[in-house]
């Protein structure tokens, strides 16, 4: 990978010493992590470190109403949390060495729901959704907690929802990047019908990868389920990034050169009978993502 040198002066005591930053000469993909309702950025830091090791710049953050702003938990609305997501996205896209045309967004549950809407407001190249929640469009400005009182979400999530009837599903339908959907088999909060609604809506994506974590619940309470999700996510991000890099690799250019002397042709040989054609070799089956 090419590098870029930047000379700097390092203040020390009353003077300075010279130094040189050596940084990647090419821009890097950015990855934004959006946690679920009741969660925090800490749930994604280990995964962010693994993905950063692939050559990405990652940002995890706390939505308002969580962590240090927990007092707002009962009053924060979807509208306010979407502004949080936009602010975090903009900070990542403006970060030095981040390629603003190569942003991945990873969202879980409520964070996945917000992530889909983000794609209608900012460029997103890769979108990874684990158990993305689904809410009715009404009550956008009311406290998020109020939705569970005003909307029969259990019934709403137990049937397929047409993409045209829901803002998040419409956003998924309009998304033309690469999409990962991860279902938890034993999820009672975001049941399989919700994932099927997102899957139907996402058919226009450049690619659609669907994975089901067997025996997993919504919160991935078992360590084995956490590891399984990490493996799926990191593997998919790795595939997307290396695929994108391969698309930008220019073919090698071979300079023509003159040989020192023309090659001597080999002596003529008597013609021989053509051997029987070798039987064709069986083709190797290529693996394909479900979905």
Would you say residue 218 has pLDDT above 90?
yes
Number of domains in the chain: 1
Burial of 159 (0-12, 13-18, 19+ CB in 10 A): exposed
pLDDT at 18: 87
What number of CA atoms fall less than 13 Å from residue 285's CA on the CB side? 3
CB 44 within 8 A of CB 33: yes
pLDDT, one tens digit per residue, over 45-97 is 999 999 999 999 999 999 999 999 999 999 999 999 999 999 999 999 999 88
Whether 216 is in a domain gets the answer yes
The three-state (H, E, C) secondary structure of 196-228, written as one string: HHHHHHHHHCCEEEEEEECCCCCCCCCHHHHHH
Whether 285 is in a domain gets the answer no
Residue-number span of the structural domain to which 243 is assigned: 27-247
Whether 263 is in a domain gets the answer no
Whether 91 is in a domain gets the answer yes
Whether 127 is in a domain gets the answer yes
Give me the helices (H) in the chain, please. Answer: 45-52, 78-93, 110-118, 147-150, 153-156, 167-174, 192-201, 223-247
Q: Please give the Cα distance from 291 to 76 (Å, whole number).
A: 35
More confident of the two residues 10 and 183: 183
Name the most confidently modeled range: 20-24, 182-186, 274-278.
182-186
pTM of structure: 0.80
Closest C-alpha among 233, 205, 243, 289 to residue 58: 233
Which pLDDT band, with edges at 50, 70 and 90, does 136 fall under?
A: very high
Whether 136 is in a domain gets the answer yes
Least confidently predicted of 5-9, 49-53, 250-254: 250-254
Whether 259 is in a domain gets the answer no
The three-state (H, E, C) secondary structure of 35-75, written as one string: CCCCCCHHHCHHHHHHHHCCCCEEEECCCCCCHHHHHHCCC
CATH number at residue 36: 3.40.50.1820
Q: Please give the Cα distance from 193 to 92 (Å, whole number).
A: 33
Whether 205 is in a domain gets the answer yes
Tell me the CA end-to-end span of the chain in Å, nearest whole number. 34
Q: Please give the Cα distance from 202 to 178 (Å, whole number).
A: 10
Would you say residue 273 has pLDDT above 90?
no
């Amino acid at each position: 990978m090419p590098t870029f040198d930047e000379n700097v002066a390092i203040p020390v005591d009353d003077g300075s010493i010279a130094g040189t930053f050596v940084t990647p000469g090419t821009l890097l993909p950015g990855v934004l992590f959006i946690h679920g309702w009741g969660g925090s950025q800490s749930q994604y830091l280990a995964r962010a470190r693994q993905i950063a090791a692939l050559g990405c710049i990652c940002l995890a953050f706390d939505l308002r109403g969580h962590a240090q702003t927990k007092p707002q938990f009962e009053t924060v609305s979807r509208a306010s949390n979407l502004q949080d997501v936009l602010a975090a996205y903009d900070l990542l896209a403006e970060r030095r060495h981040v390629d603003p045309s190569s942003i991945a967004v990873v969202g879980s549950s409520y964070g996945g729901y917000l992530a889909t809407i983000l794609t209608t407001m900012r460029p997103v190249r890769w979108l990874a959704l684990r158990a993305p929640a689904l809410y009715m469009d009404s009550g956008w400005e009311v406290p998020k907690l109020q939705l569970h009182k005003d909307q029969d979400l259990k019934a709403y999530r137990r049937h397929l929802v047409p993409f045209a009837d829901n803002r998040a599903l419409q956003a998924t339908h309009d998304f033309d990047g690469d999409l990962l959907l991860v279902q938890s088999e034993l999820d009672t909060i975001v049941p399989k019908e919700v994932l099927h609604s997102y899957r139907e809506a996402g058919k226009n994506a450049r690619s659609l990868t669907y994975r089901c974590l067997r025996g997993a619940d919504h919160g991935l309470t078992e360590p084995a389920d956490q590891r399984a999700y990490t493996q799926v996510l990191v593997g998919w991000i790795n595939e997307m990034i290396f695929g994108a890099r391969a698309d930008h690799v220019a073919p090698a250019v071979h300079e023509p050169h003159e040989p020192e002397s023309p090659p001597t042709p080999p002596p003529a040989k008597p013609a021989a009978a053509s051997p029987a054609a070798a039987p064709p070799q069986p083709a190797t089956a290529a693996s394909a993502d479900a979905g």
